[in-house]
Amino acid sequence: MSRRCFLRTVATGIAGAVLTLPGTAKYQAILEAAGACVAKGQACLAHCLVLLGGGDKSLGDCAQAVNQMLAACGALQSLAAQASPLVGRMAKVALDACKDCQKACRPHAAKHAECKSCMESCAECIKQCEALAT
């Protein structure tokens, strides 16, 4: 199993476990959107790192933006799973991180499927975050 497949499997399993926790129905949409961002972002970051390691510096901004989005969406996912009163405030941070990530992935989306997938998951998370941000 490749590292990418392993990460996807782990992320999907964690997201599935989180989605079955009591009290998550209130935040179901943001859990799914943030979870997709985390899963797709991990694949994108892994792809960027491989290319950066091979000398392709054009993906440096993308890798940095994805890494920051992963931190924000991971925190949002965790808070939403707890039905925390901090979800709205974290959604603001995740919103900014997803916008930055989407912008950084856009130039690479036509050439790299991982960037395109990450960009698309950020677009959905942006919609969900806008609905929750307080």
Domain ranges in the chain are 3-132
Q: What is the reported pTM?
A: 0.82
**Residues 119, 124: Cα–Cα separation, whole Å:** 9
- φ/ψ (deg, to 5) at 30: -70, -30
| Second-level CATH architecture of 3-132 | Up-down Bundle (1.20)
**Residues 8, 2: Cα–Cα separation, whole Å:** 10
pLDDT mean across residues, the chain: 89
Find out whether 97 and 68 touch, Cβ atoms under 8 Å.
Answer: yes
13: pLDDT strictly greater than 80: no
Q: pLDDT tier at 25 (50, 70, 90 boundaries)?
A: confident
